[in-house]
Amino acid sequence: MIDDPAAISLLETMVELYSPSGCERALAEFLVDWMREAGFRAWRDEVGNAMGSPHLPPCEGEGEGLLLLGHLDTVPGFIPVRREGDRLYGRGAVDAKGALAAFCVAAARVGPLLHSPVFVVGAVEEEAATSKGARALLDYFAPQAVVIGEPSGWDRITVGYKGRLVVDFQLQGEIGHTAGPGGGVCEEAVAFWQMIRRQADQWNEGRKRLFERLDPSLRSINSSKDGLVERVEMTVGLRIPPGFDVEAFKSQLLAQAGEATISFRGQEPPFRASKSTPLVRAFLHAIRSQGGQPRFTVKTGTSDMNVVGPVWACPILAYGPGDSSLDHTPEEHILISEYLRSLRVLEEALRQLGTEGRDRG
């Protein structure tokens, strides 16, 4: 394994700073300080994003160039930070502090040598179904190309994400005797969930690839009663494939809700990027330069690519070290060797992109 104490120290410190969604400030302030010490112009914006560029003074076309967009936040659930050989354990090690740390180090080492501006952003609330940080960037930047910091494995490039819809179901009614003929509100909630599952099964018939399938999940169901009234609240999440008519589906759910209150949130469209861009070619070359055989992948979850991709309409991909099957799990950890290998890939990709001038995106 290549030894790179400075890069490893940055990652370890970032993982040690526990930053679940809504609690990113300490990490953001640390990163701004780190970037300034590395020679960046760096600041926190009005929503709490950590932002920086190694270009001093501001470049012509500020807000253009290459944007490396990672996220500061993690899902909840503190994991004691520890090293076991090549493994670094801790919440966010994979999703996605490894990618953001590599962005910062690569930009610090290569960015000042490039003709085009490079920006690094650690966004807030990517994991909170609000994407508050990414949305605040939509009018600020007009990038020529974007790399989203998400775990793909050091030799893989992610070019697509499914969309998302969160459905909240609420129902209350008078309590009846359990031996009576009528069902209670809990049964109605379960019936509503089963109806969603049937609709998903109908859509999925004949569709074998996970990226093409509608994936519902029952995220929570809670009931209560006070002796007179019983209540139930249920949340259903759906991973939306390309081609699925979300608005028609929402209308159908509302029409079948009966006395229940139905609301929707966290809606993001599915997005798939082009593989035929200079950005992708730069990463293919960079992975090969480190001895890898590059592969493309699409993800069944969402990322900030779903937010910024349709608006900016520029070359975009997601890249970062780590095994995404460890995302959000109690065993979340990253291989330091893979993190360092991804850093070398990023440095080479930046050289490929930035030394040929601003027209290459």
Task: Please compute the mean of the pLDDT values over residues 279-293 and round it to a whole number.
Answer: 97
Residue from 24, 64, 125, 126 carrying the catalytic annotation? 126
Asked if 153 and 98 touch (Cβ cutoff 8 Å), the reply is no
Q: Which of 350, 284, 291 minimizes the C-alpha distance to 2?
A: 291
- Is 126 assigned a catalytic role? yes
Residues 27-81: pLDDT tens digits? 999 999 999 999 999 999 999 999 999 987 666 556 789 999 999 999 999 999 9
Measured distance CA(157)–CA(150) in Å, rounded: 10
Q: Which of 35, 19, 26, 33 minimizes the C-alpha distance to 68?
A: 35
Give the model's pLDDT for residue 116.
83
Q: Which of 124, 153, 169, 128 minimizes the C-alpha distance to 268?
A: 128
Question: 33-46 burial by CB neighbour count: b if 16+ within 10 A, else e?
Answer: ebbeebebebebbe
Q: By percentage, how much of the chain surpasses pLDDT 70?
A: 93
Higher pLDDT, 262 or 57: 262
| Domains contained in the chain, CATH given | 5-161+270-354 (3.40.630.10), 163-268 (3.30.70.360)
Q: Which of 134, 125, 6, 24 minimizes the C-alpha distance to 68?
A: 134
Residue from 24, 64, 73, 95 carrying the catalytic annotation? 73
123: preceding bond cis by omega (within 30 degrees): no
222, 250, 264, 306: CA torsion to nearest 10: 120
Confidence label for 218 from pLDDT (cuts 50, 70 and 90): very high
- Is 33 assigned a catalytic role? no
pTM, 2 dp: 0.92
273 alpha-carbon distance from chain centroid: 15
